[in-house]
A and B are shown apart, each in its own frame.
Chain A
Amino acid sequence: EVQLVESGGGLVQPGGSLRLSCAASGFTFSDHWMHWVRQVPGKGLLWVSRIHRDGSNTASADSVRGRFTISRDNAQNTLYLEMKNLRVEDTAVYFCAREGVRARERFFDLWGRGTLVTVSS
């Protein structure tokens, strides 16, 4: 089955760290750019970060740059998001998402179900 499954969310104190994982299956993971998108419960979608197929190129939203690091392990078919110096406003459901496989197909054609990160004292 083609799917993405996130894990690693939970409750963390402000200033703390967390690492999210996204396990891919059913498709050739290394063929796709990958992304993290977050959503405060009941609110809209916010793009967080993206990574090239081979991990050589990354980009992040201003709100997380310098605190969050996206990476991937193509041998393990896994995407990661290392989050440091977490803030209350980082509380959200974090989704991983797959880009289309063809050049310029930067829309997100597959999403995981998300993992909830709660930053609170």
Chain B
Amino acid sequence: DIVMTQSPESLAVSLGERATINCKSSQSLLFDSNDENYLAWYQQKPGHPPKLLIYWASTRESGVPDRFSGSGSGTDFTLTISSLQAEDVAVYYCQQYNSPPYTFGQGTKLEIK
């Protein structure tokens, strides 16, 4: 199974500042079949289901604000929120979706400093 490891486990950032969350996979998520990284990012607010933010490591889902961006390739990935807003308080998960089991990172809790 591919193990997904996120860091940090929690993060406190001031409003308007940049937030960066890292995700590392135990195997490369870049596959020759389509030269894409099978890596997604989700946001989960308390009492709500996860919401897709980013797929193919860097493609923003429709309707997601452009302050959210994804980067990285192979085994190392990053989710960046360029200017933190109050509504961004949530837990963020990365996930590999190449093949089952579709493993998630343990989550990063993002709070306001």
Contact = CB atoms under 8 A, between A and B. Distances in A.
B50 A50 contact: no
26 contacts: A37-B50, A44-B104, A44-B105, A45-B44, A45-B93, A46-B104, A47-B100, A50-B102, A59-B101, A61-B101, A95-B49, A100-B55, A104-B34, A104-B38, A106-B98, A107-B40, A107-B55, A107-B95, A108-B42, A108-B97, A109-B55, A111-B49, A111-B50, A111-B51, A112-B49, A113-B48
A97 to B, nearest CB: 8
A60 B48 CA distance: 24
A110 B33 CA distance: 25
B106 interface: yes
Contacts, number: 61
A60 B101 CA distance: 7
Interface of B: 33-34, 36, 38, 40, 42, 44, 48-52, 55, 61, 93, 95, 97-98, 100-107
A105 interface: yes
Contacts of A114: 49
A24 B38 CA distance: 26
